[in-house]
Structure 1
Amino acid sequence: MSPSNMSPVNTSSTPLLAVRDLSVSYGGIKAVKHLNLELHQGELVSLIGANGAGKTTTLKAICGLLAPQSGEVLFDGRSIKGQGAWTLVSQGLVMVPEGRGIFTRMSIDENLRMGAYLRQDKAQIEADIESVYQRFPRLKERHKQLAGTLSGGEQQMLAMGRALLAKPRLLLLDEPSMGLAPIMVDKIFEVVRDVAQQGVTVLLVEQNAHRALEMADRAYVLDSGEVALSGPARELLGNPQVQAAYLGA
Structure 2
Amino acid sequence: MSTEPLMLDIRGLDVAYGGIRAVRGLDLRVGKGELVCLIGANGAGKSTTLRAITGLVPAAAGQIEHQGESIIGLPSHQLVRRGVVMVPEGRGIFPQLTIEENLAMGAYTRKDHHEVRQDIERIYTLFPRLAERKKQSAGTLSGGEQQMVAMGRAMISRPSLLLLDEPSMGLAPIMVERIFELIQTIAKEGVTILLIEQNARLALELGDRGYVMESGQIILEGPAAQLLHDPKVRAAYLGEEDFAA
Q: Give yes or no for contact 1:21–1:71 (8 Å, CA) kept in 2.
A: yes
Query: Equivalent residues in 2 for 1:48-63 (5 A)?
Result: 48-63=39-54
Residue 67 of structure 1 is matched in structure 2 by 58
Amino acid of the structure 1 residue aligned with 2:137: L
| 1:94 has 2:85 as partner | yes
Residue 20 of structure 2 is matched in structure 1 by 29
| 1:40 has 2:35 as partner | no
Residue 213 of structure 1 is matched in structure 2 by 204
Aligned residues: 240
Residue 217 of structure 2 is matched in structure 1 by 226
Segment of structure 1 superposing worse, 71-80 or 121-130: 121-130
Residue 108 of structure 2 is matched in structure 1 by 117
Q: Distance in 1 between matches of 2:4 and 2:203?
A: 25
- The Cα RMSD (Å) is 1.2
Q: Distance in 1 between matches of 2:106 and 2:126?
A: 16
Q: Give yes or no for contact 2:77–2:109 (8 Å, CA) kept in 1.
A: no
Segments of 4+ moved more than 3 angstroms: 10-13
Q: Give yes or no for contact 1:108–1:146 (8 Å, CA) kept in 2.
A: yes
Residue 245 of structure 1 is matched in structure 2 by 236
Q: Cα distance, 1:218 vs. partner?
A: 0.1
For structure 1, the 5+ residue unaligned runs are: 1-9
| 1:147 has 2:132 as partner | no
Q: Normalising by structure 2, what TM-score?
A: 0.95
Q: Give yes or no for contact 1:16–1:75 (8 Å, CA) kept in 2.
A: yes
| CA deviation string 1:161-203 (max 9, x = no partner) | 0000000000000000111111111110001011011000000
| CA deviation string 1:59-87 (max 9, x = no partner) | 00011111011111000100011112221
Q: Distance in 2 between matches of 1:242 and 1:190?
A: 23
For structure 2, the 5+ residue unaligned runs are: 241-245
Residue 6 of structure 2 is matched in structure 1 by 15
Amino acid of the structure 2 residue aligned with 1:133: Y
Q: Normalising by structure 1, what TM-score?
A: 0.94
Q: Give yes or no for contact 1:210–1:247 (8 Å, CA) kept in 2.
A: no
Structure 1 residue corresponding to 2:156, chosen from 158, 161, 165: 165
Q: Distance in 1 between matches of 2:207 and 2:166?
A: 15
Residue 198 of structure 1 is matched in structure 2 by 189
| 1:127 has 2:118 as partner | yes
| CA deviation string 1:28-49 (max 9, x = no partner) | 1110000000100000000000
| 1:176 has 2:179 as partner | no
% identity of equivalent residues: 58
Q: Distance in 1 between matches of 2:22 and 2:115?
A: 41
